[in-house]
Amino acid sequence: MTDAKQLSQYLYEQAPYITQEWLDMRKKGINSIYAADAGDHLERQLREHNEKLIHAIINYFLYDEQTAHQELKDWAKYVSELRVNGQVPIHESLEQFRLFRGILWDKVKGFLVAQGLDLDTALLYGQKINDAYDFMILHFVKHYDETYSSQMQAQQNLINELSSPVIPITTKEAILPLIGDLDSNRTHYIQKNTLELCSKEHYETLYLDMSGVHTIDTVVAQHLFQLIQSLELLGIQSVICGMKPKVAQVSIQLGIDFSKIPVKSTLSHALADLSYKQQEEG
């Protein structure tokens, strides 16, 4: 396909000018990496990435489909990860793809008209460019979503870890402070993490400080009750401290029976009792 090679050569030569035309469309004074005044470093980066995209689209005409697809996938994966790490909203990138497609199409149409190609050939080349571009966008969105979701999960895991620490107070006793809203995912993590740590450290008593919990639902209450039962099977005594009246009322309404579990009005009272007990034993 001589015409295809000519089109590829034409786009390759025009790549810097196509990219410059796209960059010239940027606006100033917007908080985005696509802003005209975002800085020389970002402009160089955008220029480099855009010209690589053009080359990947050109290769759609020159190489087998598998090779061409892989290059587009690699580009989409690399750039989408940069956009996620740079906290660039996906709609901003998709808008830039739309603008760039228009510029690219104008160049392609100019070439086709200048070459006087028949309609069938022109449509064939146009379809190939659209296929390549749509394939790139599909994988850009896919990798963007995967990267974003992975980062959000990592942040949530860190939040869970920092917000539900098991704090040792002696070699046998520890405190689990529960703070803020408890949802199903968080209580599931607390249950799993607490059991692992308490078993590892061989604690005998765990004080569940609930003074920072202001509401509770059926699922959360069941998770906490299962945690207490699991601790009991491990030989670890649970002591509930600082439960709010509202939480206590909801627990009763939900049919959660905490009556067989030691309860203290505050954590300080529980620790005072522990101190008194240690003095007696000493």
Task: Give percent of the chain with pLDDT exceeding 70.
Answer: 95
Q: Does residue 2 register a pLDDT over 80?
A: no
Distance CA 132, CA 114 (A): 23
End-to-end CA distance of the chain: 94
**What is the structure's pLDDT at 120?**
84
For the four alpha carbons of 153, 158, 159 and 160, in that order, the dihedral sign comes to positive
Estimate the crossing angle of helix 2-23 against helix 40-62, to 10 degrees: 170
125 — pLDDT class (breaks 50, 70, 90): confident
Number of H helices, E strands in the chain: 9, 5
Q: Does residue 257 register a pLDDT over 80?
A: no
Reported as a single tens digit per residue, the pLDDT across 135-169 is 999 999 999 999 999 999 888 777 776 667 899 99
**What is the structure's pLDDT at 250?**
80
Q: What is the pTM of this model?
A: 0.67
Where is average pLDDT lowest: 2-11, 23-32, 42-51? 2-11
pLDDT, the chain, mean: 88
CA dist 52 to 28, 39, 47, 68, 272, Å?
Answer: 25, 20, 9, 13, 68
* 233 vs 156 pLDDT, higher one: 233
Strand partners, 238: 206
**What is the structure's pLDDT at 280?**
65
Highest mean pLDDT: which range of 96-100, 226-230, 264-268: 96-100
Q: Does residue 282 register a pLDDT over 60?
A: no
Domains of the chain from N-terminus onward: 2-161 (1.10.490.70), 167-281 (3.30.750.24)
- For residue 164, the SS3 value is coil
Reported as a single tens digit per residue, the pLDDT across 52-99 is 999 999 988 888 888 889 999 999 999 999 999 999 999 999 999 999
Reported as a single tens digit per residue, the pLDDT across 170-222 is 999 999 998 877 777 788 888 888 999 999 999 999 999 998 888 888 888 88
Residue located via tokens 């979503």: 145
